[in-house]
Amino acid sequence: DVAKKIEDDYNAFLENEHETSRKNDKAIVWDFLSKTWEGYRHSKPADFDQSPETGIAKDKLLALGKKLATLPEGKKYFRKIQKIFDDRLAAVETNNLDWGTAEMLAYATLLTEGNPVRLSGQDVERGTFSHRHAVVKTEDTEEEIETLNMLAENQAPFSVYNSFLSEYGVLGFEYGYSLATPQGLTIWEAQFGDFFNGAQIMIDQFITAGEDKWSTQSGLVMLLPHGYEGQGAEHSSGRMERFLQQCADENIQLVNTSTPANHFHLLRRQMNRPFRKPLVVFSPKMLLRYPSATSTLEEMATGRFQEVIDDAKAKVGTIDTVVFCSGKFYYEASEKATEMGVDNMAFVRVEQLYPLPQKQIEAVIAKYQPKNIVWAQEEPENMGAWHYIAMKLRHIPFIGITRVAAAAAAEGSKKLHERRLKQLFADLFQFAKK
């Protein structure tokens, strides 16, 4: 009898509420985030002509660099960890910063400016490639040390979480978190870029289309480790072609950066504009410790994110072939050209793939007046940015240099990888003069 009464009462409640709702002429949908987003606006095409200045005074960078690279005294650390932090401190003091140090410096500057930073992913505390070490455990007590939370008394909080193995669930949560926290930098890092496809639904339904469908902005950053290094089909590609296919109406930003300083400015840019936009970074693996891929404090103290980086070694008048490329492939191609003694080819980096910096690309072409204009990439012909570039810049006679089209993203054999890379260079340097 008691159970029956509870059921009857609940059914009566539902019927009453249903009748009440039918009397309403229209449903009112309340935007519960409107207050949170006061002071922000939607982006305009002109916002992407040039990035805002994002430099920080060198003395402040030096001070922050020393703090984030110094572990608290009086505690016992593993020797390997102590060496990593000693090396990071030496890099700051000798003005030769690698990728991980530049990334940590970007977070440090944002934190001391009042912007909270949140980072999650399957191995983000250490970093899949051991480049971050945002969390350190003591040897004897396993106390967790986060130097990014030891910068200043009034700093914003730094939060970092090793998440469980569900890209779909975690990326969905972080997207929602970014909607509610426009003043903070929210980042999700895939263990390898290939693994983002476990969250494809979140990307298709929300991240790339949310602003168009619901007028909702998000500043979510996705770090997708990307690069062809012979590690196989599941550890090589962040599938930039899939993201590029969804690019329209300035809905997201896609970048494939090649220097620590540019990555520093990129992360700071995300918080230094009056609007928010999802950012997909095809982050490097090889470049994390690559001797040529270092930056100075001066490069971070001044300037802004560079959408296009011209070839500093190229001389107008001697160049008849301009090779546009992006990411770590620039280093491989440029160093191969130096090894071969090639002096008629300029290697220009397109760091931002969307929104495409068309005016800057056209300015480079006008500068050199080349006979051959090439887009070169390490990805297969049916992947990467080649078809996107050919379509968006169809008025420019681009020549595409790519790996052969393939069903799998990358080769499972190291020998086959090297053979196809050799062929890629042979195709690229058909334009070489020595």
Burial class (CB in 10 A: 0-12, 13-18, 19+), 405: exposed
- The helix-helix angle for 79-93 and 99-112 (nearest 10°) equals 80
Looking at every residue in the chain, the average pLDDT score rounds to 95
Residue type, 115: N
Longest dimension (CA), the chain: 96
* 401 conformational bin, left if phi > 0, alpha if psi -120 to 50, beta if neither: beta
Structure confidence at residue 306 as a pLDDT band (50, 70, 90): very high
Burial class (CB in 10 A: 0-12, 13-18, 19+), 51: buried
The pLDDT assigned to 279 comes to 99
Q: What six digits make up the tokens of 34?
A: 């409107």
Asked if 262 and 99 count as a contact pair (C-beta separation under 8 A), the reply is no
**To 5 degrees, how large is the angle CA 279–CA 334–CA 427?**
95
Distance CA 417, CA 434 (A): 27
Structure confidence at residue 268 as a pLDDT band (50, 70, 90): very high
Residue type, 350: V
The pLDDT assigned to 22 comes to 86
Asked if 373 and 397 count as a contact pair (C-beta separation under 8 A), the reply is yes
Nearest CA to 63 out of 158, 150, 5, 143 is that of: 150
Distance CA 116, CA 107 (A): 9
Distance CA 273, CA 94 (A): 32
Mean pLDDT of 204-218: 97
**pLDDT at residue 308 is higher than 90:** yes
- The helix-helix angle for 99-112 and 260-269 (nearest 10°) equals 30
The pLDDT assigned to 193 comes to 87
- Three-state secondary-structure class, residue 161: strand
Q: What six digits make up the tokens of 307?
A: 């959408």
Residue predicted with more confidence, 298 or 26:
298
Give 50-68 pLDDT, tens digit per residue: 999 999 999 999 999 999 9
The pLDDT assigned to 31 comes to 81
- Three-state secondary-structure class, residue 345: strand
- Three-state secondary-structure class, residue 336: helix
Q: What six digits make up the tokens of 270?
A: 């995300």
Distance CA 316, CA 360 (A): 17
> What's the helix, strand, coil split of the chain in %, to 5?
40, 15, 45
- Three-state secondary-structure class, residue 26: coil
The pLDDT assigned to 21 comes to 86
Give 19-52 pLDDT, tens digit per residue: 988 888 887 777 889 899 999 999 999 999 999 9
- The helix-helix angle for 414-428 and 329-340 (nearest 10°) equals 60
Distance CA 124, CA 127 (A): 4
Domains and CATH numbers, the chain: 47-301 (3.40.50.12470), 310-431 (3.40.50.11610)
Asked if 67 and 151 count as a contact pair (C-beta separation under 8 A), the reply is yes
Q: How far is CA 138 from CA 57, 75, 144, 267, in A?
A: 33, 7, 7, 30
Give 94-147 pLDDT, tens digit per residue: 999 999 999 999 999 999 999 999 999 999 999 989 999 999 999 999 899 999
Beta bridge partners of 136: 145
- Give the torsion sign (CA, 68, 69, 75, 79): positive
The pLDDT assigned to 24 comes to 83
**pLDDT at residue 433 is higher than 90:** no
- Three-state secondary-structure class, residue 402: strand
Asked if 238 and 222 count as a contact pair (C-beta separation under 8 A), the reply is no
Asked if 109 and 177 count as a contact pair (C-beta separation under 8 A), the reply is no
Asked if 208 and 222 count as a contact pair (C-beta separation under 8 A), the reply is no
